[in-house]
Amino acid sequence: MDSLLSIPRSVEWNHTHLTILNQQKLPNETEYLELKDIQSVWDAIATLKVRGAPAIGITAAYGLALAAHSYQTNSLEDFRNLLKKDRDYLASARPTAVNLFWALDRLMASIANVSSVADAKKALVHEAIRIQSDDENTCRSIGEHALSLFQEGDRILTICNAGSIATARYGTALAPLYLAKERGIRLHVYACETRPILQGARLTTWELMQAGVDVTLITDNMAAQTIKTKDITAVIVGADRIAANGDTANKIGTFGLALLAKAFNIPFYVAAPLSTIDLSTKTGADIPIEERPSEEITELAGTRIAPPGVKVYNPAFDVTPHELITAIITEKGIISGHYESVLTALFKEEIKR
Backbone angles phi, psi at 243, to 5 degrees: -75, 170
What is the secondary structure of 194-206 as a DSSP string?
A: -TTTTHIIIIIHH
Minimum Å gap between C-beta 52 and ligand MRU is 4
346, HSE (Cβ side, Cα atoms, 13 Å): 24
* 146 burial level (CB within 10 Å; 0-12, 13-18, 19+): buried
- Selecting among 135, 220, 240, 247, the annotated active-site residue is 240
Give the DSSP letter string of 158-185. E-S--SGGGSSSS-STTHHHHHHHHTT-
Give the residue with the Cβ less far from ligand MRU, 14 or 133. 133
Quick check: 154 and 233 in contact, CB under 8 A?
yes
User: 64 vs 242, which CB is nearer to ligand MRU?
Assistant: 242
> Which amino acid is present at 236?
I
Minimum distance from residue 166 beta carbon to ligand MRU (Å)? 4
Give the rounded distance of the alpha carbon of 97 from its chain centre.
7
- Is residue 235 within 8 Å of 158, Cβ to Cβ? yes
- Residue number of the CB atom closest to ligand MRU: 238
**In the complex, minimum distance from the CB of residue 96 to ligand MRU, in angstroms, rounded to a whole number:** 8
Closer Cβ to ligand MRU, 100 or 149, answer by number: 100
Using CB under 6 A, list all residues that contact ligand MRU: 48, 51-54, 97, 160, 162, 166-167, 171-172, 199, 238-240, 250-251, 316
Minimum CB–partner distance for residue 276 and ligand MRU (Å): 7
Angle at 114 between CA 111 and CA 120, to 5 degrees: 60
Least Å distance between CB 328 and ligand MRU? 13
User: Annotation-wise, does 251 bind a ligand?
Assistant: yes
Helical segments of 11-52, H only = 38-46
Q: Is 153 annotated as a binding residue?
A: no
246 is in an annotated binding site: no
Three-class SS state of 327: strand
Give the separation between CA 204 and CA 226, rounded to whole angstroms: 17
* CB nearer ligand MRU, residue 226 or residue 276: 276
Nearer to ligand MRU, 9 or 121 (CB): 9
Consult the annotation and say whether 53 binds a ligand.
yes
Whether 231 sits among the annotated catalytic residues: the reply is: no
132 assigned to a ligand binding site: no
Q: Which residues are catalytic?
A: 240
Annotated binding site for substrate: 51-53, 94, 199, 250-251
